[in-house]
Amino acid sequence: MFKGSIRNKLIVLLMVATIVPFGASIVITYYHTAESLKDQAVKENSNLLYQGKVNLEGYINELDGLSLSLYNNPGLINFLRDPQKENNYQAVEAVRNVISTILYAEENIKRVNIAVAKEDRLITASRRSTVIFSKKLTNAKQEFYEKAKESPSNMYLEPIHKIKEPEDEKPKNVITLHRSLANIPSDEVLAYISLEFSPDQINNISRNLYSGGNEEFYIISPEGDMIYRSTDEGTKTADWLSWIITAKKENGTVEWKEDSFNGVMIYDQLSQNSGGWYLVKRVPYTTLYESALSVAKINIMFGVIGLFLVILATLFISFRITSPIRILLQNIDQVEKGNLNVRFKSFGNNEIGYLGDRFKQMIDKINDLINREYKLQLENKTNQLKVLQSQVNPHFLYNALQSIGTAALKNQGQQIYSSVTRLSKIMRYSMNMEENMVPLQKEIEHTKAYLLLQKERFGDQLQFNFQLDEEALGFPVPKMILQPIVENYFKHGFDAREKTGEIKIICRQDEFYLDILIEDNGTGVSESRLEGIQRHLMNDRIGQKGELTSIGLKNVYVRLKLYYGDRAYLQLKNLEHGGLLVSIKLPKRMEGGKDESNYCG
């Protein structure tokens, strides 16, 4: 009943008016904040990478400058041009001074090597040994010498590898800067200088470029060798690593999605004069959007609080506004069920309170009108019943007296006594105005007495029989509904000169109705006449002029309608073998309640 109620609609409306703006605000705020934070994070990380790039380039250029300082020493250059002057004390001392100067110029330099190009000679110096002149036993560094020679800057950075001094317990990680020394102004290579230095300074610079645990940072050589990484996970064959190398771009940003990573990659490249390393920082979306999620959570929290307040306000408003309406609806339901005794407290001085007061006034007025109308209807019904019964008695009395007079003419004293006795019983039954409803059995006995009185008149020319359902004999029926119909047979359908008259009365019942059938073998009624009688019965007026010959049927029909309304039926039908069938169907429960007739009496 209340699926479309105002309360439900009000709750839904306020919910939608709250949830939709709050939800849209949260979603829009989240995405706007997320994009803003992502752009801001990308910009900040790009600036950070650029600063790291500057620092790394400065450090590498500082080391590279140490290798270039050899050109400032003419004695060393002359030695490299003519190594045969090795026995020249001044030249050898100049070499030692230059190498020692380079070795101790930067604390991370572990060893300095000079490979002379013209002769298979190697000059080596470390912090744990003096300058050593020796023959090159292997050509392991030749590959890197060639790369340094082919480089536009004549410098190449060998990725991290391990070296082990005799005094060391385990190998150490170093990065080697290789530089080819040319015999300027020609391109002739005099020697290759290699500075082996610890990656500690590079690591220190790198640690300032990322947030541990949330971000990843890598330094990669142009060949894909790993110089530095913030995580221990292997990346040698990673797709993103190949993409960075093959992209051939100095810097940029790319969104990357794979099984192990889903976020943004920011990269920058050192200049070729500084080795051309790539600085790559990978920031997952969870880190980028962490602040956005915090903002969204705050919005959701305020949204839930606001929604809770709206629900409370909605319930308060709905109960304040719709509860009186529901009470009115419940009282209207009671009125529909016939209960007009409805009472409820005043709803206040607002519009709904005014509506409730007017509703109670309306019900009181309806009650007053119903009481007045009901009493008038009862009085009218009583008067109608008395008029109808007074219509039946004169006709019946006339016919009965005529039969007794005929018997008297034939000097039949016993028959006269029986007829007078039956007539007295019939008159007592029909003239008793205090009884309106009688058991079916009494109505049958009255009708049987009437037929016996008519049989004394017509003798063997009249036959009648009753087919009765014994269980239906106690059923209450309106008084005088059978005799007027039987009397019509003698008035309009019976002709003793043609054939023996037959009349049959059948009474049977089911769960809801009592059926009474009066069947005769008279002359019947023409179809046009039957239609006229039916129209006469349907007319509401009683005692009108015109159809005087059907007054008995009209009498019965009107009384049935007074007691049962439209639930009772009286129908006339011509039989195929001749005669007329009158059918009466009575409901087992009267329309106005079982005590109505008693009140009328």
Euclidean distance between CA atoms 440 and 477, whole angstroms: 6
Q: What is the mean pLDDT of each run of 10 residues along the chain (601 residues)?
A: 61 74 75 78 89 93 88 80 66 81 88 83 82 71 88 90 77 91 85 91 91 86 89 67 86 86 90 91 83 71 77 73 73 74 70 75 78 68 60 56 64 69 73 79 91 85 92 90 88 79 93 93 84 77 49 82 86 88 88 40 34
Assign domain 371-600 to a CATH class. Answer: alpha beta
- Look at residue 201 in the predicted model and tell me its pLDDT: 92
User: How many alpha carbons lie under 13 Å from residue 540 in its C-beta half-sphere?
Assistant: 4
pLDDT for residue 444: 93
340 contacts 368 by C-beta, under 8 angstroms: no
- pLDDT (0 to 100) of residue 378: 60
The interaxial angle of helices 413-431 and 351-409, nearest 10 deg, is 170
Which strand (E) or helix (H) includes residue 9? helix 6-68
Distance CA 301, CA 26 (A): 10
Tell the CATH topology of 73-202.
Answer: Beta-Lactamase (3.30.450)
Listed by start position, the domains of the chain span 73-202, 203-288, 371-600
- Contact status, residue 385 vs residue 561, Cβ threshold 8 Å: no
Cα separation of 473 and 467, whole Å? Answer: 11
Place of tokens 């572990």: 110
- Token representation of residue 107: 């604390």
- Residue 266 makes CB contacts below 8 A (sequence gap 6+) with 42, 45, 46, 49, 252, 253, 280, 281, 282, 283
- Predicted confidence at residue 476, as pLDDT, reads 93
Q: Answer yes or no: are the C-beta atoms of 205 and 52 closer than 8 Å.
A: yes
Distance CA 163, CA 158 (A): 13
CB-based contact 469:508 (threshold 8 Å): yes
Q: Which string of DSSP letters, residue by residue, matches 522-552?
A: S----HHHHHHHHHHHH---SS-SS-GGGHH
- C-alpha dist (Å) from residue 491 to 373, 387, 523: 39, 21, 11
Confirm whether 73-202 and 371-600 share one CATH topology. Answer: no
**Sequence letter at residue 76:** L
Confidence (pLDDT) at 546:
43
Please state which CATH class domain 203-288 belongs to: alpha beta
Alpha-carbon gap, residue 251 to 10, rounded angstroms: 58
Map residue 27 onto helix, strand or coil.
helix
Query: Is the bond preceding 185 in cis, omega lying within 30 degrees of 0?
Result: yes
Q: Which long-range contacts (CB under 8 A, 24 or more apart) does 209-216 make?
A: 209/48, 209/49, 209/51, 209/52, 209/279, 209/281, 210/281, 211/287, 214/283, 214/284, 214/287, 215/281, 215/282, 215/283, 215/284, 215/287, 216/261, 216/281, 216/282, 216/283
Report helix, strand or coil for 251.
Answer: strand
Burial of residue 518 (number of CB atoms within 10 Å: 0-12, 13-18, 19+):
buried
Task: Encode burial over 456-480: b for 16+ CB neighbours within 10 A, e otherwise.
Answer: bbeeeebebeeeeeeebbebbbbbb
| The pair of three-digit structure tokens given for residue 100, joined into one six-digit string | 């020692």
Euclidean distance between CA atoms 206 and 195, whole angstroms: 21
100: Cβ–Cβ under 8 A, 6 or more apart, which residues?
A: 125, 131
Looking at residue 587, what is its pLDDT? 93
Distance CA 134, CA 140 (A): 16
What pLDDT does 598 receive?
38
Where do we find the tokens 């706007």? 32
DSSP secondary structure string for all residues of 555-585: HHHHHHHHHHGGG-EEEEEE-TTSSEEEEEE
SS3 letters across 84-104: HHHHCHHHHHHHHHHHHHHHC
Give backbone dihedrals phi and psi of 441, rounded to 5 degrees, phi first.
Answer: -60, -40
Of 82, 83, 109, the residue nearest 194 (C-alpha): 109
Predicted confidence at residue 53, as pLDDT, reads: 92
- Among residues 60, 37, 47, 39, the alpha carbon closest in space to that of 108 is found at 60
Q: For the chain, what is the radius of gyration of the CA atoms?
A: 63
Whose CA is closest to 519, among 497, 491, 489? Answer: 489
The angle, 0 to 180 degrees and rounded to 10, between the axes of the packed helices 6-68 and 290-336 is: 180
Q: What is the pLDDT of residue 79?
A: 79
User: Rounded to whole angstroms, how far apart are CA atoms 600 and 405?
Assistant: 37
